[in-house]
């Protein structure tokens, strides 16, 4: 009797864990989206769920229309120039503005690379090439963003070009591999895949 009971309990636990594995990603995604929507909805509190979010979207759309058709580039530039002169406020505004403009122009984490941490050690880290233009007085350096595992943070490194090698991975796949600590498998793309990261105008990693 006890053996059958243990077998039955073990079966229930196995089914429970399988259910968790099947539905936990969906539940976590739904929860994160719900938290974000709740936060956006509370920016303009109205007492009615969802109305604040609709008002926020309508307000931003109206501001975009006014900025496009009524306020000319000269007025907007004058306003931004005044904001940038305010201590701390100008720094925050300029940083957010440049991030938004970079995303709008397509400067995203789309070029996964493999970075050799030291020319004399076989230790590598996956990152994303973010800036390849010459950085004076060190034109041989490029900017690579290295995300942390199990986190949404990272750090920026300036490394020699010959220590950076493009990875044949899709950007999203490389990011999932790093953030998961290597738990999620990253599959290399075929050599002729159009999604392959563009090559740098440099030789491969130095030995």
Q: What per-residue confidence (pLDDT) applies to 10? A: 83
Q: What per-residue confidence (pLDDT) applies to 195? A: 47
Q: What per-residue confidence (pLDDT) applies to 196? A: 46
Ranges of residues in the chain whose predicted pLDDT is under 50: 192-197, 202-207
**Per the structure block, which two tokens stand in for 92?**
């925050």
Note the pTM of the prediction, 2 decimals: 0.53
Q: Taking all residues of the chain, what is their mean pLDDT, rounded to a whole number?
A: 77
Q: What per-residue confidence (pLDDT) applies to 15? A: 83
DSSP 76-120: HHHHHHHHHTSTTHHHHHHHHHHHHHHHHTT-SS--EEEEEEETT
d(CA 142, CA 165): 12
pLDDT 10s digits, 111-150: 888 888 877 778 888 888 887 876 767 888 888 888 888 7
């Amino acid at each position: 009797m006890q053996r059958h009971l243990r077998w039955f309990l073990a079966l229930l636990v196995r089914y429970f864990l399988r259910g968790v594995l099947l539905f936990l990603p969906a539940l976590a995604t739904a929860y994160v989206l719900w938290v974000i929507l709740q936060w956006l909805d509370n920016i303009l509190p109205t007492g009615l769920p969802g109305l604040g979010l609709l008002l926020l979207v309508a307000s931003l759309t109206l501001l975009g229309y006014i900025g496009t058709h009524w306020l000319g580039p000269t007025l907007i530039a004058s306003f931004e120039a005044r904001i940038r002169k305010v201590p701390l406020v100008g720094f925050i505004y300029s940083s957010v503005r440049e991030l938004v403009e970079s995303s709008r122009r397509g400067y995203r984490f789309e070029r996964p690379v493999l970075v050799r941490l030291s020319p004399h050690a076989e230790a590598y880290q996956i990152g994303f090439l973010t800036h390849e233009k010459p950085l004076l007085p060190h034109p041989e350096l490029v900017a690579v963003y290295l995300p942390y595992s199990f986190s949404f943070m990272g750090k920026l490194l300036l490394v020699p070009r010959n220590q950076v090698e493009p990875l044949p991975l899709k950007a999203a796949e490389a990011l999932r591999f790093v953030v998961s600590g290597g738990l999620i498998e990253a599959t290399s793309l075929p050599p002729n895949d159009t999604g392959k990261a563009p090559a740098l105008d440099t030789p491969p990693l130095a030995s």
